[in-house]
Amino acid sequence: MNIAIVGYGKMGKMIQEIAINRGHMNVRVFDPSIETPLKQKDLDNIDVAIEFSTPDSAPQNYLICFQAGVPVVSGTTGWLSRWDEICKVAISSNTGFFYSSNFSLGVNLFFKLNAMLARIMAPQRNYIPHIEEIHHIHKSDAPSGTAITLAEVLFQENNSLNQWVLNSIGSEHELPIFSTREGNVTGTHTVSYVGDIDKISIKHEAFKREGFALGAVLAAEFLNGKEGIYSMNDLLAD
C-alpha cells in the first residue's frame, strides 16, 4: 500500500518505521510545519494518508487529501469544532475518514470500561466525577483528545453533567478535567468518582508510543478502499 505520512514528529517517525516493517514500501513523508503546505499533486498514487500534525493545520490537510481522492487516518486532536464540516466533505468526495483521539488498543478497551463505570455510577449522586490526564511538555492541546472522549461518555450516561471545565472545579453540572504537562510522559488518564468516605478510580497509563503508531497503521490498512466515516470501534469489530 502507498502511504503518505503528513506530520513528521515523534509519532510520524514511528508510523513510518512500523509501516515499512509491515511491508508498505512506498511511504512518503510530508511535514507541512517546516516545508511548503501539502498540495494535491503530492498525493499522486497514494492509497491512504496518515495525518498527525497540529490542531491548526490538520483540517486543511484533510481537505487537500479529500480533494485528491485520498482517504485519511488522523489522530490529531484539538480541531473538533470543524468535525461536521470535515465529515461532510469526506462523504461528498466519496472517500474515507478514520478518526480517533487515541489509536492504542488498551486505551480503546479503557473507553469501554469507562462507559460501563459511568453507567453504574450515574445514579450515585454522592460521588463526584473528575478526569485527570498527564502528557509530555510538547503536547500542544489541553485537555487531551482522549480526556475529552472520556468526558463525552460521562455526559451520555449522566444527565446531571453537560460540559467540562479545565483545571477548575466548576459547578455541579460541569465535569472537571485536570491537565498536567511534564517531562516526557507518554500519556496517563484517570477517571475518578470521589465520595465522602472513599474514591473509585480507573486508570490507563501508556509506557510507549509504539502502540499508538501501530494502531494508526492498522487503521490505514482497514480504511484502504473504503468510503465513509470510521473509528476504532469499526476497526476492533472488523
Residues acting as catalytic residues: 135, 139
- The residue type found at 225 is G
CA distance 16 to 108: 22
CA distance 124 to 119: 10
DSSP assignment of the chain: --EEEE--SHHHHHHHHHHHHTT---EEEE-TTTSSPP-GGGGTT-SEEEE---TTTHHHHHHHHHHTT--EEE---S-GGGHHHHHHHHHHTT-EEEE-S---HHHHHHHHHHHHHHHHHTT-TTSEEEEEEEE-TT--SSS-HHHHHHHHHHHHH-TT--EEEESS---TTEEEEEEEE-TT--EEEEEEEE-SS-EEEEEEEES-SHHHHHHHHHHHHHHTT--EEE-HHHHHH-
Bridge partners, 29 (sequence order)? 5
